[in-house]
Structure 1
Amino acid sequence: MANEHLEKLYHVLDDSTTILNQQLKTSFIAAITEAGEDLDSGEVMQEDGLPNDEAKKKLTALFDQIKLATYEPEEIRQALQLVLVKAIKVDGIEPNKQITPDAMASLATFMITIFIQQHPDQLRVADLAVGTGNLLFAVMNQLHKAWNVEVKGFGVDNDEALLAVAGMSSSLQRLDVDLFHQDALDNLLFKDADVVVSDLPVGYYPIDERAKKFATATKKGHSYAHHLLIEQSMNVLKPGGLGLFYVPSQVFRSKEAEGLTKWLAKAMYFQGLLNLPDDFFADKNAEKSLLILQKPSPDVKRAKQVLLGQFPDLNDRDAFAAFIAKVKDWAAANIVL
């Protein structure tokens, strides 16, 4: 880890989480939330004598090493992310709930800067499968840095433990985020987002009656949750808003894709589909692509030619520079008003 400042924060978070995990006999991810909240408040919370006084003394000494005001939001997010990667292994977290790599956040941010030609003074960015918030918060931080604008976040998830991490993380980073613990396919309490970005969970949605409200639902049996979440996400966007979704690379080739395809053609601007580099995935069946959609509006154009292709290896600087130039040329020819 090249950044010693960030490394110090990581070690404090990792060591304190390990102590709390052992003391509280809880999951590692719940211990991360407790450690982050204690660091944020500047006080080690005890309940029913736990953590014990000796552990509390150790935790206090650890937290005294950190002055949060000296850390950028991105440093805090990255340090937390490293501890969360450990939690995935310790707790055996299922694939749909694992951390979205930073490279995917950077690719999404790049696409936002391509498609949003005139950005407001405050951007509203949402994720309806927010999990621990890593993808949403990375994009928020990157957009703030790229455009020097205020960024307001909205996150939805039905997993209380993951959402607790997101709440702690956003507080440590001093981000302006509203988080909602609910089924993302139920009625939502916000709308008019500028951007939705999401690494979508893949699988069937169990509540058929609720799924029937969506055009992307299948006619028989359970519908794909990721299809429904794409439609619901686009519903919360303002006209001209941008939807960026990491989806299975075979998203349009399954037998269940008919409803999704018809809905896209009728209701949205299908602007692009870019495959992620092969080396992102150990298992070919887990490969993902970035689906780019835009909500129709007089202020945006449907692409004359959909942006298709593959992101190059991120370590090949020449190939990536050529890719960026190609995307900018495509934008000038296809979507710039």
Structure 2
Amino acid sequence: MEPATGVEKLHVLIDEMAVSIQRHTDVTYLEALAEAGENVFQHSIVQSLPDQEAERLQNKLDQDLPEEMKREEIRKAFQLAVIKGMKEAVQPHHAMTPDAVAMFMGYIVEKLTSKRENLALLDPAAGTANLLSAVLNQVSKDTAAYGAEVDETLLKVAYVLSNLQEHDVELFHQDSIEQLAPPEADVVVSDLPVGYYPKDDIAAEFRLQAQEGHSYVHHLLIEKCMTQVKPGGFFVLLIPNYMFESDQADALHAYIKDEAVILGLLQLPSSMFKNTQAGKSIWLLQKKGPNVVQPGQALLAELPSFNNQDALLDMMKQMDNWFKEEGFTS
């Protein structure tokens, strides 16, 4: 059956190019995907492939590339391909933020910053920039975006994805805990990587270092980003539900109490996860600063299934009221 939508057409095209590049150049699928994205951006086959194969792919590019591609179509087409590549890669930190969740986080960022004329956005664990670009596609104001990522392959995909969507994104190849180079941000949005941070000498400089053994990478990232966010800036973070029950939770609570106010915690539907231990929530924080006050009532909710449109719309109406009552929207 012929692919019908722009997303399907672009996905089929970039997947076929990536498979060919992988076969002829002995790279991983994710590396080949970044190369395929570059071909789409340049509208030309830029790799050194056998002449006949390069000509075949160029013809496919000329004939099958949709004439007009919306940003969300580009993002979703690449997302499908990235998921395939991550199954092959099997590294534990290679995981894609669910599409509905990424869009929902973008909606939250737009609401929190509705009274600001421009915005600086940071993802310290950007991966392929899928979450970052999903948020950028939701935000209506002039936005500069920064992404940091330690994995060079994911960063290459992020670079191509950002270029194709014509987003103003500056990308940094770095360990965000050891070094975070981007300018100050108004909002940190991230699907926090979870686990232990191996560099104990670096962790020793942090207030949230573990008293024994390795420190948690997700704790250290929060502390590092707290120094990178402007006073009054926001955090919209995807976190594991068990984070507040871990052996280092008390230290995290004390740190957040000193540095920020908790705006809300939105638990994702349990149906999204294979088991309860894998459950996640969206955590909303605001860094302390002038005119920052604790909300009259924190936004606490268990989100309905994203497939239940009526229940989700009802929840968003309640959230819209909360944003208005707390002064984030007019």
Query: Which TM-score applies when normalising by structure 2?
Result: 0.93
Find the counterpart in structure 2 of residue 152 from structure 1. 144
Find the counterpart in structure 2 of residue 55 from structure 1. 53
1:223 aligns with 2:215: yes
Q: Confirm or deny: 8 A CA contact 1:97 1:201 kept in the other structure.
A: no
Find the counterpart in structure 2 of residue 115 from structure 1. 112
Find the counterpart in structure 2 of residue 134 from structure 1. 130
1:21-40 → structure 2 map (5 Å cutoff):
21-40=22-41
1:190-205 → structure 2 map (5 Å cutoff):
190-205=182-197
Query: What is the alpha-carbon distance in structure 1 between the residues aligned to residue 111 and residue 43 of structure 2?
Result: 41
Please give the root-mean-square deviation of Cα atoms over the aligned residues, in Å. 1.9
Post-superposition shift, 1:140?
A: 0.6
Instruction: Return the match for 1:103 from 92, 100, 103.
Output: 100
Query: Number of paired residues?
Result: 328
Post-superposition shift, 1:246?
A: 0.7
Distance of aligned partners of 1:128 and 1:205 in 2 relative to their CA distance in 1, 3 Å threshold: same
Distance of aligned partners of 1:186 and 1:300 in 2 relative to their CA distance in 1, 3 Å threshold: same
Find the counterpart in structure 1 of residue 175 from structure 2. 183
Query: What is the alpha-carbon distance in structure 1 between the residues aligned to residue 167 and residue 175 of structure 2?
Result: 23
Post-superposition shift, 1:69?
A: 6.3
Query: What is the alpha-carbon distance in structure 2 between the residues aligned to residue 126 and residue 3 of structure 1?
Result: 35
Q: Confirm or deny: 8 A CA contact 2:9 2:66 kept in the other structure.
A: no
Distance of aligned partners of 1:46 and 1:10 in 2 relative to their CA distance in 1, 3 Å threshold: closer
1:282-293 → structure 2 map (5 Å cutoff):
282-293=274-285
Find the counterpart in structure 2 of residue 212 from structure 1. 204
Q: Confirm or deny: 8 A CA contact 1:191 1:238 kept in the other structure.
A: no
One-letter amino acid of the structure 2 residue matched with residue 175 of structure 1: H
SS of structure 1 residue aligned to 2:207: coil
Query: What is the alpha-carbon distance in structure 1 between the residues aligned to residue 169 and residue 37 of structure 2?
Result: 17
1:213-292 → structure 2 map (5 Å cutoff):
213-292=205-284
Q: Confirm or deny: 8 A CA contact 1:239 1:297 kept in the other structure.
A: yes
1:301 aligns with 2:293: yes
1:167 aligns with 2:181: no
Q: Confirm or deny: 8 A CA contact 2:10 2:65 kept in the other structure.
A: no
Distance of aligned partners of 1:68 and 1:154 in 2 relative to their CA distance in 1, 3 Å threshold: farther
Query: What is the alpha-carbon distance in structure 1 between the residues aligned to residue 171 and residue 67 of structure 2?
Result: 23
Query: Which TM-score applies when normalising by structure 1?
Result: 0.91
Post-superposition shift, 1:127?
A: 0.4
Query: What is the alpha-carbon distance in structure 2 between the residues aligned to residue 136 and residue 238 of structure 1?
Result: 19
1:324 aligns with 2:324: no
SS of structure 1 residue aligned to 2:179: coil
List gaps (5 residues or longer) in structure 2: none
One-letter amino acid of the structure 1 residue matched with residue 155 of structure 2: L
Instruction: Return the match for 2:83 from 82, 85, 103.
Output: 85
Query: What is the alpha-carbon distance in structure 1 between the residues aligned to residue 56 and residue 275 of structure 2?
Result: 42
Query: What is the alpha-carbon distance in structure 2 between the residues aligned to residue 67 and residue 11 of structure 1?
Result: 10
Query: What is the alpha-carbon distance in structure 2 between the residues aligned to residue 329 and residue 40 of structure 1?
Result: 42
Query: What is the alpha-carbon distance in structure 1 between the residues aligned to residue 37 and residue 60 of structure 2?
Result: 12
List gaps (5 residues or longer) in structure 1: none
One-letter amino acid of the structure 1 residue matched with residue 251 of structure 2: G
Q: Confirm or deny: 8 A CA contact 2:231 2:288 kept in the other structure.
A: yes
SS of structure 2 residue aligned to 1:279: helix
Q: Which moved more, 1:61-70 or 1:198-207?
A: 61-70
Q: Confirm or deny: 8 A CA contact 1:29 1:165 kept in the other structure.
A: yes
Identity %: 36
Distance of aligned partners of 1:259 and 1:317 in 2 relative to their CA distance in 1, 3 Å threshold: same
Q: Which moved more, 1:76-85 or 1:207-216?
A: 207-216
Post-superposition shift, 1:171?
A: 1.3
Q: Confirm or deny: 8 A CA contact 1:303 1:335 kept in the other structure.
A: no
